[in-house]
Amino acid sequence: MHPAVTVADSLEEAVEMSLLLAGKDDVIIAFGSLSYLGRLMEIVVRHS
């Protein structure tokens, strides 16, 4: 595994880790199916 890759057990955990690791000028990029991205957006909105 590449040293810059982080593995998460759930989408919720991945969002949490991404938000914690990203700096204020960083961009978090996600891609996948529309249902996956819909779930991702729900998690991000709840986290905000």
- The alpha carbon of residue 18 and the mean position of all alpha carbons in its chain are separated, in whole angstroms, by 5
Residues in the chain: 48
pLDDT per position as a tens digit, 2-41: 888 889 999 999 999 999 999 999 999 998 999 999 999 9
Residue at 39 is within a domain: yes
In a domain, 6, yes or no: no
DSSP state of 1: -
| Residue 37, domain member (yes or no) | yes
pLDDT at 46: 93
pLDDT at position 38 is 95
Domain contains 15: yes
**Tell me, what's the pLDDT at 47?**
87
**pLDDT value, residue 14:** 94
Q: What local confidence, expressed as pLDDT, does residue 1 receive?
A: 76
Check residue 4 and give its pLDDT.
83
Q: Distance of CA 33 to CAs 1, 5, 22, 38, Å?
A: 24, 21, 23, 9
Number of domains in the chain: 1
30 Cβ neighbours under 8 A, 6+ residues apart: 37, 40
